[in-house]
Amino acid sequence: MTLYLYTSFKKTLLFFLLLLSCFLNVNSQNDSTHTLLSNKDTLTTGELKKIKLNKEYFISYFTDTKEIIIAPFSWKRKQWLTTAALLGTSVLIYTQDEEIYDFIQKNQTKAKDDISKYVFEPFGSGVYTLPLLGVFYVIGASSDNVRAKNIALTGIKAFIISAGFAQVAKQIFHRHRPYQEEPPNSKIWDGPFNSEFKYNSFPSAHSSVVFSIA
């Protein structure tokens, strides 16, 4: 149980950093929630492309997925350097996995576990996120607010596409969760030729979904 809470708390940390960055973003830009939901005060229908719930919208799921897959072929030097920096940082953090685990276990409390389980985790699973996007759509549809409807439809698409990519990646890497081994070992990667679907700890679909929507 404690090992499960360890992985859950790492997700909590990711979600906390995400929310913090979103908070700073909102306060550093001219656009506020009031402006976001206002009707044509700052953006008119002609200035903002309408995303409609029609055939083209559903086709865009496939076209957007294709664009994501082929995007690296047109990356410029700066994008490759950014990717290399992110990968390097990830590898560096991975080498400290056991130390992070020990730190989390030493500082674990029921309050932190509850925050992870009931506050942050539901954002990644869609329990909070999808209803929130639904509210945006209802607001947009009832007030003819293009921006609110765009947020809803684009957010739902981001949720589905990112979750799909995460599930495919899970089956490629087949990383074990710590509690699936005795003694615990999170450094087992079976690779793409393992048929055990239960080994799917990497990447985190919850984190992928939340960052995509953000």
- Cβ proximity of 15 and 207 under 8 Å: yes
Amino acid at 65: T
pLDDT tens for 85-116 read 999 998 998 888 888 888 888 888 888 889 88
* pLDDT band at residue 204 using 50, 70 and 90 as cut-offs: confident
Cross-strand partners of 175? 189
pLDDT tens track for 9-67: 454 444 444 444 444 343 333 333 333 444 444 444 445 678 888 999 999 999 999 99
- Binning the chain into helix, strand and coil, the percentages to the nearest 5 are 70, 0, 30
* Contact between residue 2 and residue 105 where contact means Cβ atoms under 8 Å apart: yes
pLDDT tens track for 108-163: 888 888 988 898 888 888 999 999 999 999 999 999 899 999 999 999 999 999 99
Quick check: 123 and 129 in contact, CB under 8 A? Answer: yes
Predicted TM-score (pTM) of the model is: 0.71
CA distance 55 to 99: 50
Q: Which phi and psi (to 5°) does residue 189 adopt?
A: -120, 115
- What is the distance between the alpha carbons of residues 136 and 150, in angstroms, rounded to a whole number? 9
Give whole-number Cα distances, 13 to 6, 10, 18, 106, 119, in Å. 11, 5, 9, 16, 12
